[in-house]
């Protein structure tokens, strides 16, 4: 919780210094509500959330004197209400050998790092985990996954750069199944420069996974870099069109002032948020908890 709070310090200071300026002690009139709504939008909370919070305050406190602490408390409550339904850890089905998790997202969003961190979590919980280097385009991506494999003591299935990712995914599911693994993470390429190519590639990858296990992939995680702010919305739209995204992981919530975007995404898409990244190290993946996040964000 401490790390989450310090990670979100920039997001929260943006919000709270604004709130402090707005409400040292002030009557909640139309002008104050309008300024508050604008502040919430600037903090990336999204238009819908900003409207919802302001409406709630207008209904309960209009015309009264309010302090910034009271506004903060209401804000934290409303944010918790929005985040509660989406805060859900990844549910690994122990009957599946393996439970297959496909990990998608644009290059640099933190896919490989998130896989490494999750591998460690589940390995520590006693599960047999395998990693597949499905981003066959970038040698660095394959190397990076291998490093995570060594670090977490998980086997990595990889091929040479430029190899067919769908073929690799097929082999990975087959090998992992033969070993009786509990969990298989499949990394993917995320070159958004050519959406049609990426879409075709992901579709092919999913088809070849299904040739081995027609129920797989059991989860499709979309990894989003929180520092891109509102851009995260279009990334969700794009990937949802390409593949059956089942949940989100937001990374780089440390050191960004744009943590509010998670609230906007929750309100808009309602996709489960399985975990959040608050740093580059293996221990910097946190379960996503609505209340802790809301309180850290509001400060």
Q: Considering only residues 105, 259, 260, 272, which one is a binding residue for ligand GDP as defined by CB under 6 A?
A: 105
**Under a CB-based contact definition with an 8 Å cutoff, are residues 211 and 223 in contact?**
no
As measured in angstroms, the least distance from the Cβ of 113 to ligand GDP is 3
Residue 110 in contact with ligand GDP, rule: CB under 6 A = yes
Find out whether 7 is annotated in a ligand binding site. Answer: no
Residue 65 in contact with ligand GDP, rule: CB under 6 A = no
Cα–Cα distances (Å) from 211 to 96, 162, 281, 289, in that order, read 16, 22, 35, 36
Q: How many CB atoms lie within 10 A of CB 12?
A: 23
Residue 260 in contact with ligand GDP, rule: CB under 6 A = no
As measured in angstroms, the least distance from the Cβ of 28 to ligand GDP is 37
Instruction: Give the number of residues in contact with ligand GDP, rule: CB under 6 A.
Output: 20
Buried b (16+ CB within 10 A) or exposed e, 66-92: bebebbbebbbebbbebbeebbeebeb
DSSP string, 285-298: EEE--HHHHHHHHH
**Under a CB-based contact definition with an 8 Å cutoff, are residues 252 and 110 in contact?**
yes
Q: Considering only residues 49, 68, 109, 136, which one is a binding residue for ligand GDP as defined by CB under 6 A?
A: 109
Report d(CA 238, CA 195) in Å as an integer: 8
Which residues in the 226-255 window bind ligand GDP by CB under 6 A? 251-252, 254-255
Task: Give 115 or 206: the residue with its C-beta nearer to ligand GDP.
Answer: 115
Find out whether 182 is annotated in a ligand binding site. Answer: no
Binding site for ligand GDP (CB under 6 A): 105, 107-113, 141, 144, 190, 251-252, 254-255, 277-280, 284
């Amino acid at each position: 919780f401490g790390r989450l709070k310090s990670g979100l310090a920039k997001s929260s200071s943006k919000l709270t210094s604004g709130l402090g300026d707005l409400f040292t002690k002030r009557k909640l009139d139309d002008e104050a509500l309008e300024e508050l709504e604008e502040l919430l939008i600037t903090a990336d909370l999204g238009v819908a959330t900003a409207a919802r919070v302001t409406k709630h305050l207008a209904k309960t406190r209009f015309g009264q004197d309010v302090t910034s602490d009271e506004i903060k408390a209401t804000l934290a409550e409303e944010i918790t209400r929005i985040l509660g339904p989406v805060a859900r850890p990844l549910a690994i089905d122990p009957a599946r050998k393996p439970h297959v998790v496909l990990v998608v997202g644009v290059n640099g969003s933190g896919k490989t790092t998130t896989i490494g961190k999750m591998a460690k979590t589940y390995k520590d919980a006693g599960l047999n985990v395998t990693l597949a280097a499905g981003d066959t385009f970038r040698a660095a991506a394959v190397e990076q996954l291998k490093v995570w494999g060594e670090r977490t003591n998980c086997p990595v299935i990889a091929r040479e750069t430029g190899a067919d990712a769908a073929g690799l995914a097929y082999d990975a599911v087959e090998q992992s199944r033969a070993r009786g693994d509990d969990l298989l993470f499949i990394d993917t390429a995320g070159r958004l420069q050519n959406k049609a190519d990426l879409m075709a590639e992901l579709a092919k990858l999913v088809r070849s996974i299904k040739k081995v296990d027609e129920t797989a992939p059991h989860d499709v995680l979309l990894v989003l870099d929180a520092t891109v702010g509102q851009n995260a919305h279009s990334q969700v739209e794009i990937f949802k069109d390409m593949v059956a995204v089942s949940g989100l992981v937001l990374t780089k919530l440390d050191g960004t002032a744009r943590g509010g975007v998670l609230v906007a995404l929750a309100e808009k898409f309602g996709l489960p948020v399985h975990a959040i990244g608050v740093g580059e190290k293996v221990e910097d993946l946190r379960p996503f908890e609505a209340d802790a996040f809301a309180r850290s964000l509001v400060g």
